[in-house]
Homo-oligomer: A and B are copies of this chain.
Amino acid sequence: MSRVDELVQLLGQQYVLTGDDAEPYIVDWRGRYSGKALAVVKPGSTDEVAQVVRWCAANKIPMVPQGGNTGLCGGATPDSTGQAVVLSLTRLNQVRSVDTDNDTMVVEAGCVLQSVQQAARDVQRLFPLSLAAEGSCTVGGNLATNAGGTQVLRYGNTRDLVLGVEVVTAQGDIWHGLRGLRKDNTGYDLRNLYIGSEGTLGIITAATVKLYPLPVAQCTALLALNSVEDAVSVLSAARNGFGAALTGFELIAGNCLQGVVECYPQQRIPFEGDAARMPWYALLELSDSESAEHARERFETVVGAAIEAELVQDAVIAENITQSKALWHLRESIPLAEKAFGKSIKHDVSVPVSRMAEFVQTTNAALQASFPGIQHVIFGHLGDGNLHYNVAKGQARTEEDLLAQQDAVYELVHDSVHQFGGSISAEHGVGQLKRDALPRYKDPVELALMRRIKQVLDPDGLMNPGKMLIP
C-alpha cells in the first residue's frame, strides 16, 4: 500500500488531497512561497490529527500544520522536497462551548477568526483579536503565530487572550490543556510555549479563549501631528486620560494618507488647509462602558488638552459610526494603496515606544544615505511600539531596481531595529521569511535554548521543518 493510500485509510478518500486539489494548500495566498507535498490531509477531529501525527512520526514524514493559509512569512507552506504532509486544520471548526459567567469560549483551531468574533458577539461579549485577514485566517493560525492586530494596546496579543490549549504533540499524544482558569500555578507554562511556536513543536487543535464585555460605545478621532515625538507624548496623555478605555492608537505618516486618497479618490483626508498636509497623523479609538456621550466628552477633554499643549495641530472626532468607519478605512487602505508607491519592501518591526522617534529619524536618514530618493511608507500600532516600516522606490528608480536591493534594505532596517533594542518581527512571526536573519539578531543563549526545546519536544525534527529555526 502506498503512503497516500495509508493516509486514505486513516481519513477517507475525500480528506486526502493530491495533485491539483492540493495546490491551494502548497502555495501561500500571496503566491510568494510554494512547495510540494506528499499529500494535503484534512483530519476531522483531534483524534484524527493525533492519528495522522502518529503515522507521520512512525514513518518519519515531516508535517506542516496549516490554518487559513494567510500568513505573511511562509510558515504554513511546505518545502520543495515533496516529502511533507500538509495538515489542514480547517475541518476542526466548531465552537465547542461558550461560558458567559466564566467569560470563556472553547474553539477549535480551524474556526475562522471572524466566526469566533461573531460567536462572542452572539452572547454579548467581545473577542478582541482583530486583524486584516480575519475573514479567512483561523484561530489555530493566530495561536501558532501569536497574532497581533489593532487591539493589542488594550487586550494584548493572541497569547494574552488564551487560557488553555489542546495540543497534539510531535509524538501524537494529546495534551488536554483546555483549562478555563485565570489562575493556575501548577507547573511550567507549556501553553505559551506552543503559542507562537509556528507549528514547530506540535499542533494546537483547540483553545479556551477569553471573552470581554462588549463596549457600550466607541469613539474614533484622527489627529494631525508635527512629529513622532508629539505622537508619543499624545499616546502618554491618552493612556493617562483614558486608562484601559484607550483601545487603539495608530500612527500614520502623512504620505500614507496622501497615497490612499490618490488611489481611492472616494476617500478623503478629513482636514482642510495645512492640517491636510501634516507629516504625521494618529488614529485613536476609545471604547467606553457607559455611553457615546461619555466617550465623546472624554475625547474632547483629553484631545482638547493636547491641542492646548500644542502637541496636536488639529483633530477630527467622528460624529457617528459612519464617520468612525471612514477614519478606520483610511488606515486600513494603506497596505492596499500600492498603486501610489509601487511594491514596497515591508518590515514588521517593533522598538520601545520611547525610542520610536529617534528610530524613525535615524533609519530614514540611513536609508536615504544608502539608497537616495527612496520613499518611506510608515504606519503602525504606535501603542505597541509596532511599525510597518515600508520602503518604496520613490521617483528615482523602478520597482525592479528597488526589489533588487531588497536584502540590503532588510539588513539596514533590521540592523537599526536591533540597535534600538527592537524586534525584527513584531507580529507576523518568523516562518521562512526571517529564519535566516534570526541568528544575526537573537541573543545566542536564547537561540541555543530554543534549539534545545525544539530538540527535546521534536527530536526527529518532523514538525514544520525549516520554519523559525535553521534545521
Contact surface of A with B, Cβ cutoff 8 Å? 99-104, 124, 145-146, 148, 152-154, 156-157, 159-160, 169, 173-177, 179-190, 192-193, 195-197, 201, 213, 215, 232, 236, 239-245, 287-290, 298, 350-355, 381, 383-386, 421-430, 434, 438, 441-443, 445-450, 452-457, 468
Q: Quick check: A102 and B215 within 8 Å, CB to CB?
A: no
Do A196 and B185 form a contact, CB below 8 Å, given A101-B354, A290-B298? Answer: yes
**CB-CB nearest in chain B for A146:** B185
12 further A-B contacts with Cβ under 8 Å, apart from A157-B182, A177-B446, A192-B192, are A102-B355, A157-B183, A173-B445, A177-B443, A179-B423, A183-B427, A188-B450, A189-B193, A189-B196, A190-B453, A241-B289, A244-B289
Chain B contacts for A177, CB-based, 8 A: 443, 446
User: Could you say which residues of chain B place their CB within 8 Å of the CB of A197?
Assistant: 188-189
| Given A101-B232, A104-B352, A236-B101, CB of A186 within 8 Å of CB of B243 | no
Of B100, B186, B243, B352, which one neighbours A289 at CB under 8 angstroms? B243
Q: What residues of chain B lie closer than 8 Å to A468, measured between beta carbons?
A: 187
State in angstroms the CA–CA spacing of A386 and B183 once bound together.
7
Q: Which of A242, A350, A427, A442 has its CB near the most chain B CB atoms (within 10 A)? A: A350
Determine the distance from Cα of A182 to Cα of B146 in the docked complex, in whole angstroms. 12
A183 to chain B, nearest CB (A): 4
Q: How far is the CB of A264 from chain B (nearest CB, A)?
A: 28
B185–A428 touching, CB < 8 Å: yes
The 9 closest A-B pairs by CB, nearest first: A244-B244, A243-B289, A101-B354, A184-B423, A456-B456, A183-B426, A192-B192, A102-B354, A102-B352
Residue of B nearest to A447 (CB): B187
**How far, in whole Å, are A240 and B290 apart by their CA atoms in the complex?**
9
Chain B residues with Cβ under 8 A from A242's Cβ?
289
CA distance A289 to B179 in the complex (A): 33
Q: A102-B352, A175-B449, A177-B446 are in contact. Are A438 and B289 (CB under 8 A)?
A: no
CB distance from A121 to the nearest CB of B (A): 14
Query: Chain B residues with Cβ under 8 A from A434's Cβ?
Result: 186
Q: Nearest B residue to A453 by beta-carbon distance?
A: B188
Chain B residue nearest to A176 (CB atoms) is: B443
CA distance A354 to B211 in the complex (A): 13
Q: Check if A181 sits within 8 Å of B453, measured CB to CB.
A: no
Contact call A430/B245, Cβ cutoff below 8 A: no
Contacts of A148 in B (CB 8 A): 183, 185
Residues of B within 8 A of A160 (CB): 156, 160
**In the complex, what's the smallest C-beta–C-beta distance from A469 to chain B, in angstroms?**
8
Which residues from chain B contact A156 at a C-beta distance below 8 Å? 160
A100 to B, closest residue via Cβ: B236
* A176-B445, A239-B213 known; A384 vs B182 contact (CB < 8 Å): yes
Q: What are 22 A-B pairs at a CB distance below 8 A?
A: A103-B239, A104-B352, A148-B185, A156-B160, A157-B183, A159-B189, A175-B446, A176-B445, A180-B352, A180-B421, A181-B385, A181-B423, A183-B381, A183-B427, A186-B424, A186-B425, A186-B441, A188-B449, A188-B453, A189-B189, A192-B192, A453-B453
Whether the pair A169, B289 counts as a contact (CB closer than 8 A) is: no
A302 (CB) vs chain B CBs: closest residue = B289
Contact partners of A455 in chain B: CB under 8 A: 456
What residues of chain B lie closer than 8 Å to A157, measured between beta carbons? 182-183, 185
Find the residue from A152, A159, A245, A290 having the highest chain B CB count within 10 A: A290
Check if A179 sits within 8 Å of B426, measured CB to CB.
Answer: no
Q: Which chain B positions have C-beta within 8 A of A244?
A: 154, 243-245, 289
